Structure formats: structure tokens, C-alpha cells
Structure 1
């Protein structure tokens, strides 16, 4: 444990517990983060242990395996102030069995730094929020600890579009933030776009480091590296969409940014999506930036069972029943990237639940739970509900969600969900 062992050796509290240090550390590592935060006030030993970097890494590793420490975060960016809720799938509403209980994170709502901030990145229970002026904050959902990162000064008359993404470096056992920006750069005869990328190691770097990271050779219509673009962190890589407009018709790729080496590679978008009439916005319509943003918002990037990268899309198809009644069935397409084969494999499933009858695709939000099942958050005018799909068994489960006080029916785009877990990792 390094620092923890040295700290514990000279503290008189430990002998009173009549427990060997290794056993005590093992017991504490199995406690939830909220309990550990309270224990920091018990003694110097507990404080030093909980804030120790090595202990945080150990607790994080255990949290990845314990279902009781996993859940989802619901983010609602209302005009007055944002609202945040957590849902643990093992915690049900006391008054209504079978209903999941959403718990409001009041300590986050009251923070002034959240106003005007965009939450578009999460990793292991840490969230990354950014503002158009370049302010970036990393916050630990479990402990409430937050750290403000240095602001990048943009020397341009035009407001940049920024995207801050969070990932974990398994070599250094530290979190990094990748900041991507684009802005107008007007030339003498034409308008172009300038792209820059920075990296900062949380708790280590005092300033941003600009990197030579250029997977965005955009032309003409601009970039999709903005707050609406989806991304996911999986085992040392941050995956996000990339829009390449040099091809004709324009082509799509997924950028795999390796957090440790700060390098990238490209994964081709499934060919059938670009060629199929079922996905009409891909192809020659791609240069229209707003339509592309809508498209890529609906094609979610997720980490599914086994830590695989997946693209998920829900669509509706009309069917004429045997009684000549026109009905619509909802289907979910899932493409999983098979690294060994370097190809996509597709599964298509009918959503069999009652809720699927009335699911406009723009009222859906996607994430996964601790075992890699796909979680769909359905938003309608009366309630939130959750659909969970197990890809192996193709079994669906449905839950209503209680405890959510605000229903932003007019702006469903303001609702996001993220996979989170219990994490006591210190940001300092």
C-alpha cells in the first residue's frame, strides 16, 4: 500500500482495533464510498488510508466486480439548474415493489460550477463537466469531491466548440482528460476550421499539454466533436465518432484514443449502415451537420458484455397484422466490434415489452449496467421507465422509475444517462 502502510505504522488507533493491518485494509476496501468518506473523520489512520492513491485503485478494482456498487446516473440539464439522480438496480422503491428508486444528488445540484456546464463524459463514477469558455471540472459522484482543471486560453474572436472526455490510464493508475476543440478560422478566400487537442492528467499535471492528435480531417461543414457527440471509455480507450468528409460520399469512423500512449486508431463504421436505406441520414446527406449530429446521437456507443465496443440503434417498422390492422414494432440493432476478426457482428431483436409501443427514438437514452446489459431510459410525458436487455439470452426486463421530480418533456435532449460505480478514488 506504500503511503498507507507508513501512515498506519505510527498511529495509535490501529493497535486498539486488535486487527492486522492487511485484514483491516481488506475490510475497509469492501465498504461503499459513502461509508469510507465518513470514516475519514475517525482517525488519522482512516483519513490517510481513504485518501491514499493505492487504496483508491484497490477500491476501484473491487467496485468493478460488485453489483451493489454499480448503477446509472441520470443528468437533467434544465434551464433553471441541472438535476442529477442515481439509480442502483438492487434498490427498489419502498412503496411500490418492482419500481426502481432514483435518488437526487442534492450536493451536486447546489454547486454553482454546474450552471452552464455540460456533462458528456463519465468513467468509473467520475464525471467530467465543461463550459464553452474552457472551464473543466472532474467530480467524484460517490464522494462529492471535485477538482477544477486549468482553463485553456483560446486566442480567437469566435467561441470554440469543446469536448472534454475522461479515461483511465491503467499504467499510471491515473485519470486523464482529452480536450478536443474546433473553431472557425477565416482565410482570405474561404472559411476553414481549426482543430486542436490537449491532454491533462488529473491530480498530476498543472497545465494542459497540446498533442499531435489529428483524426479529424474535416472540410467544409465542420466537426462533430462537440457536446452532442456520444463517446464511451472501455479498458484504456476512449471511443468517439469521427466524421470524415474527404471521401465521396462522406464516410464515418470511430476513433479509438488510447489513454496511456495518447495515440489513436480508426475503426470503420459498419458498411451496411452507410449503404442501407433503413438509415437514410448516412451517405450523401452526411454533409448537413445538424442531421449528422442527430444521427450520431441516436447511434449510441456502449460497452457491452465482455467489455466489447458496441453500436446500438432502436428503430420502428410498420407491420400489417392478419386483421389488416397497421401496427409498429420496435427493433434494436446492436453491432459489436470483434477485435480478433476486425469486423462488426450484428444482432437484431424485437423489443417485446409493452413500453416499446410508444418509444420515439429521440426519447431514448442508452447506457449499460455492471454486467454489460443494455439499459434504455424511456422518456414520455408521464414517467421515466427503464428497459434492460441481456444480449446473450435476449431477455428483456422493464421497470418504472420513482423519485424523479422533473420531467423535461419539451426538451428530451437535455436528459442523459451514464454508467457509474462506487469510487473512492482521490482526485488530488
Structure 2
């Protein structure tokens, strides 16, 4: 689509008479013009007339605009959620908005419309195409569109347990689905031994009125830690209709930890073995109600992130220190060969010194598939971007973030994008 079409759309948005003329255009041309506009402009257009509101809220238009956004770097960014004792605060960063007069600085844009929403006080566990999914232990699940601020509360499932919800896109039905896994801690009668029971539900957003329970007991997967809790460092990634997450719990002895690949469309799953080089020596053993021994890997839980890197590949990323320098190990999954490839990127001295001064690191990727490291301490944020093809690293300070008085309890970072998709 030519730039002139987008320019024409923006010009009409600023000129009410031209907006009226826009409504007289054939439907296909009108859709073509509107799909070029950023979500902020489309949200404003919804207030102009019922015709615009109906068109922009249409499911087919949302799918079209989403597909286009996937190809435009200017509509991509990263979402940062910072939680302390109060509600989380949300920021977005767009790598296309670099200020030439402030080299080496990225501006974080506050999402005040999300900060004040009481429904969004749950833990952010999942993101897909600009939609985020938050869940709370009591069973509340909220799906929110970051670009439009639209959010819906999903039906509550009555259970007394920890829950973990993941969102992904089904390209067949062109709908988003949420996979919920709940962990119920029980105590065997006459014993102090605690065991865990797991249940799984699926809900198609905007279609299903209630959750559908599914039975994955034959090959169970568990996004929880040894205490039956999701944990602050749990990780998942959505790639082309598949949700990837770690399987912390295994019956194997010796244990062989793996990654669960959940196909959103077919609602089926497969397992991907974790690279043999990954250490998993930090294990906790537990005996369930049936006398079976389980293994948990606490070390993998804390230090390794799942990401989507260039070419849409699944990757495991781990930053570690050897003497005074830091190194980034990246394992990429060769799907056609069903094997992992590994590369190590040394982090230069200057960047290593910067990382050393920060308390901990979070991982994501940007629109180009580059790895983004977010380093956090009590005063500021620092971003390191690594291009795996060239092995070139760029560093940025982040401005515009107001830090809580106490140290952030939970910081999360996800790739996001401009998306007008209606979730109702």
C-alpha cells in the first residue's frame, strides 16, 4: 500500500468535511484506507459516526489491521509492567521513536488508562499481538487490548488454587483463545504429604460464554513451581498460533525436562526436549497421592527465557557471567530437523559493566527479532539489544519511568504491537 493512501487517511481524520466524503467511498476502498491508520487514530474515528464505529469494530477489519501491523516496525514495541506493593504500572517503548537530540535514550510511554483499572491488578502472565492476559489466584482472568484499552473479564472458575492463563491466536477461526491451568493443593488423608491436582480449561474470546474443561492427564504439563505457584519468573511465548512454555514437573527418573508446544487451533500439544547442555541440577522431589515421585527444576525456572527470534524461531536465552564478563547463550529450535542449535554472544566490557550494576534482567524481542534485555535496579532501566545475525549489541537508557518507593516486586516485558482487534 502506498504512503499516499495513509497520508490521505490522516488528512481526512483532521478534516471533518473530508470525513463525510470518506463515508461515500466504496466499502473496499474505505477499508483499505482505514487499515493503514494507527490504532490511536482508529479509536478516535469510532466516535465520529455509527458507520465508522461499526466498521472498525468488525471482526474482519480487526483481523486485516492485525495482519498489516505484523509487517510494520512502526506499529511494534515492547510492553513493560512494573509491580511493587500497589497496582502494576504499564509502559510501552517503540524502537522507531528514537530522538536524534537524545542519542542512546528511549522514551517509555505511560499507559495511564491501564494503571488505574482495578481489574488489571492481577499478575501479567501472557501476551500475544498486543493483547495481554492477567490472572489472579482466586480465578479472575482479564484479557486487555493494550492499544485500545478495551478489556473484558472472563467467566470465573470456582476453585481454591493457583491459576495460570495464557493467550494465543487461532489462525483457523481467527480468534484468540485462553488456556487456563489450575493447580489444586491437597493433603492426603492421615498424612502431612501435600500433593497437587491439575486441571485445564480453554475459552475462545468473544465466542464462548463459559470455559471448556479439557483432559490432558495422559501427557500433563505444569506451568508451576515446586510449591504449586506460577512464580514471578515463569515464561511463555506465542509464535504463529503455538504457545510455548516450560514443563516444570516430570515423572521421569532421572528427570528430562521439556517444553510444551500448545497448538491453539487444534487445542493439542507436543513436547520439545530441552537442550542437553542446559543444567538442571537444582531439583526438588515430591511424592504425590499415588506414591509417584516428581522432579522440579528450580534453576531452569529462574534463569532461562523462551523467546521468538528472527525468522520466527523458538529460542532459549540465558545470560551468565564468566569472571568479569557476561555472555549470552542462545539455543534456537531447528523445527524441520528437530534439534537445537547454539550460539554464544560475548557482551563487551562496557556493556558487561553496565549489566553488573543492575539487580536482575528480563528478556523479550523487538520487531526485528533482536533480543532485548531489560536491566532493572531501584533507580533506572537500561536496555541492551542484541542482533543474532551480526552479533552487534546496542545499548539504550530508558527515560520516563517513575519508580516505586520500594524495590519492584515483579517486572515483566513482552513484545507488543498496534492492534485494533475487538475482543468482545
Deviates more, 1:195-204 or 1:14-23: 14-23
Are 1:200 and 2:203 an aligned pair? yes
Aligned length: 394
Aligned counterpart, 2:25: 19
CA distance in 1, matches of 2:213, 2:102: 52
Structure 1 residue 15, shift from structure 2 partner? 5.7
Aligned counterpart, 1:341: 337
For residue 58 of structure 1, the aligned residue among 51, 61, 64 is 64
Alignment of 1:181-196 (within 5 A): 181-188=182-189, 189=191, 190-196=193-199
What's the RMSD between the two structures over aligned residues? 2.5
Aligned counterpart, 1:100: 106
Cα 1:178–1:220 change in 2 (3 A) is closer
Aligned counterpart, 1:283: 281
- 1:54-90 Cα distance to aligned partner (Å, 9 max, x none): 0000000000000010000110012122111010111
Aligned counterpart, 2:3: none
Cα 1:291–1:102 change in 2 (3 A) is farther
Aligned counterpart, 1:171: 172
Aligned counterpart, 1:9: none
CA distance in 2, matches of 1:244, 1:312: 21
Structure 1 residue 120, shift from structure 2 partner? 1.2
Cα 1:248–1:41 change in 2 (3 A) is same
- 1:183-206 Cα distance to aligned partner (Å, 9 max, x none): 112223443210000000000000
For residue 215 of structure 2, the aligned residue among 212, 216, 234 is 212
Q: What secondary structure, in the 3-state scheme, does the structure 2 residue paired with 1:92 have?
A: coil
Aligned counterpart, 2:385: 388
- Is contact 2:359–2:375 with CA below 8 Å preserved after alignment? no
Aligned counterpart, 1:8: none
Aligned counterpart, 1:110: 116
For residue 248 of structure 1, the aligned residue among 235, 245, 253 is 253
Aligned counterpart, 1:363: 360
CA distance in 1, matches of 2:240, 2:22: 41
Aligned counterpart, 2:309: 304
Structure 1 residue 226, shift from structure 2 partner? 5.1
For residue 410 of structure 2, the aligned residue among 402, 414, 421 is 414
Q: Which runs of 5+ in 2 are unaligned?
A: 1-18, 287-293
Cα 1:225–1:405 change in 2 (3 A) is closer
Q: What secondary structure, in the 3-state scheme, does the structure 2 residue paired with 1:283 have?
A: coil
- Is contact 2:84–2:404 with CA below 8 Å preserved after alignment? no
Are 1:257 and 2:238 an aligned pair? no
Q: What secondary structure, in the 3-state scheme, does the structure 2 residue paired with 1:272 have?
A: coil
Aligned counterpart, 2:42: 36
CA distance in 1, matches of 2:258, 2:155: 31
- Is contact 1:335–1:347 with CA below 8 Å preserved after alignment? yes
Deviates more, 1:200-209 or 1:225-234: 225-234
Aligned counterpart, 2:320: 315
- Is contact 1:379–1:409 with CA below 8 Å preserved after alignment? no
CA distance in 1, matches of 2:221, 2:32: 49
Q: What secondary structure, in the 3-state scheme, does the structure 2 residue paired with 1:251 have?
A: coil
Are 1:331 and 2:327 an aligned pair? yes
CA distance in 2, matches of 1:21, 1:245: 54
Cα 1:291–1:304 change in 2 (3 A) is same
Structure 1 residue 393, shift from structure 2 partner? 0.8
CA distance in 2, matches of 1:348, 1:108: 38
CA distance in 2, matches of 1:97, 1:220: 41
CA distance in 2, matches of 1:32, 1:399: 25
CA distance in 2, matches of 1:352, 1:409: 31
Aligned counterpart, 2:163: 162
Under a length normalisation based on structure 1, what TM-score does the superposition of the two structures give?
0.86
